Structure 1
Amino acid sequence: MKKYPFRLGTSSYIIPDDILPNVRYLADKVEDIELALFESDEFSNLPSPEVIAELVALAGEHGLTYSVHLPLDVYLGSPFRDERERSVGKCRRIIDLTEALPKSAFVMHFEAGKGVDINAFSDEERQIFVESLGDSARMLLEGCGEPVSMFCAENLNYPFEIVWPVVEQFGFSVALDVGHLEYYGFPTADYLDRYLSRAKVLHMHGTTGGRDHNSLACMRPEALDLVVEALRKVEGEPKVFTLEIFSEADFLSSVETLERFSS
């Protein structure tokens, strides 16, 4: 019998080690692992073909899937075409790299530039942002080979309805980050009503000391209850419930917090 009304997941940064040791540690504890992949001039954590092969083997052995978080330093809504092309190129390299993995989702951030506050946009800037996202979406999907529904737009620090027209137009799915809703003060119940049916993945984390991405023990119990009750009513394929946290202590206390929902 299934323990929860969702597929439990967490990040590939629970123990202080590389991706592969983390996946080995988590393989019998969760059903999905979020891989946050990035590359820069200073540092890259992109797995080698040998590591990818082992990730595939571990997934087969334990019934795992991977949710692939596309790089954070991409700006698909940039008003500058060369920046959009660079960003799409980075995403496509990750998509190609992870082709062999059994995946639940690709998670995308819709941003306009480093440090750019979308909440401060004028109507004209907002329109340019949305049109730029559409241009990036076309480039990203052209000849991609992955179903469009695998790509999930994540809600960030601005109202998600700003980018909803792009999600609708292209048929993207949603990564519903409940931790962000709680942290930034968006109405969690309204977002669940509006977007849960389109969500493949939920990101769950608590807030403490003015910081998010903490243990689920730090999330408002009312918000957690709301999410789990909504997930109990979901028909069809269960959603991925990713504990988006980055330490073993937070992982263990989050799992303990979930015990009251186990069947």
Structure 2
Amino acid sequence: MSTANKQLIGSTSWVIPGTYYENARILAHLVDFVELLVYTWDDETKELLEKEAKYLAKLTGKYGLKYTVHLPTNNVENMISAYNFLRKSDLEILNYVVHPIDGISEFIKVASKDVSVENLKEKVLPYEKMTFDVGHHFLGERFPMELIDKINEIHMMGVHSGKDHEKLDKKTLEDVINFLGRRRISEISLICFEIFNLDDLIDSITLFERTVLKTK
């Protein structure tokens, strides 16, 4: 885990086939936080989180594990419902990441202080807190330079052969460093690796920490 400059290293909640808790339990000794991927809000997702929230909270007590949430991307009604459920839970949630979907202004009125807006391949919505998605930036619309100082979370990954969410490679990391600057990257609070394979995740974190944080 990384504690330098209070920067926290995280992973998505899907690196093995399984539930939120089954993934978080494996990740608890590897990262500082887990990004709960809540892409929709249906009965199945709600029931699973109702069942597992107390166990996820226990990982905080045992390992210090914290959480971020990627809120639903299909409609703003689900986004609001998921947010209202999770903010009342016992989970220690550091950030809620949203896509700039139709009706997003309605959600921001409800949760403005908790929200970080992610750049998409086809759209970047300026906001006071931004999540910089590496894949979306290199494969789509470029992230505006004037918003760099508003970034509070990076979705880190490798990008090559037209694909994102790949194992982090030196070329992608060098491109990120050239765009954001090494010092700026080290000052961003949350670095979430959106890589859906456990071995690739571990290798990616090692490369990032050795290159950016200069660990051995």
Listed one character per residue, the Cα deviations across residues 224-263 of structure 1 (whole Å, up to 9, x for unaligned) are 434443233x3xxx51000011111321221231242344
Secondary structure at 2:35 match in 1: strand
Q: 1:214 to 1:231 in 2, by over 3 A?
A: same
Question: Counterparts of 1:30 and 1:7 in 2: how far apart (Å)?
Answer: 8
Q: Which residue of structure 2 lines up, in the alignment, with residue 52 of structure 1?
A: 53
Equivalent of residue 230 in structure 1, options 184, 193, 204: 184
Secondary structure at 1:66 match in 2: strand
Q: For residue 182 of structure 1, what is the amino acid of its counterpart?
A: F
Question: Counterparts of 1:258 and 1:141 in 2: how far apart (Å)?
Answer: 32
Q: Which residue of structure 1 lines up, in the alignment, with residue 107 of structure 2?
A: 140
Equivalent of residue 157 in structure 1, options 101, 118, 121: 121
CA contact (8 A) 1:205 1:244 kept: yes
Listed one character per residue, the Cα deviations across residues 66-122 of structure 1 (whole Å, up to 9, x for unaligned) are 111111212xxxxxxxxxxxx2x211211122122211111111134xxxxxxxxxx
Higher RCO (C-alpha under 8 Å, 6+ residues apart): 1
CA contact (8 A) 1:8 1:31 kept: yes
User: TM-score, with normalisation over the residues of structure 2?
Assistant: 0.82
Equivalent of residue 129 in structure 2, options 173, 186, 201: 173
Q: For residue 243 of structure 1, what is the amino acid of its counterpart?
A: F
Question: Counterparts of 1:26 and 1:222 in 2: how far apart (Å)?
Answer: 26
Secondary structure at 1:254 match in 2: helix
Question: Counterparts of 2:40 and 2:2 in 1: how far apart (Å)?
Answer: 37
Report the Cα offset of residue 185 of structure 1: 6.3
Query: How many residues get paired?
Result: 207
Q: Which residue of structure 1 lines up, in the alignment, with residue 95 of structure 2?
A: 105
Report the Cα offset of residue 4 of structure 1: 4.6
User: TM-score, with normalisation over the residues of structure 1?
Assistant: 0.69
Q: Which residue of structure 2 lines up, in the alignment, with residue 116 of structure 1?
A: none
Question: Counterparts of 1:25 and 1:222 in 2: how far apart (Å)?
Answer: 29
Instruction: Tell me how large the CA RMSD over aligned residues is.
Output: 2.6
Q: Which residue of structure 2 lines up, in the alignment, with residue 123 of structure 1?
A: none
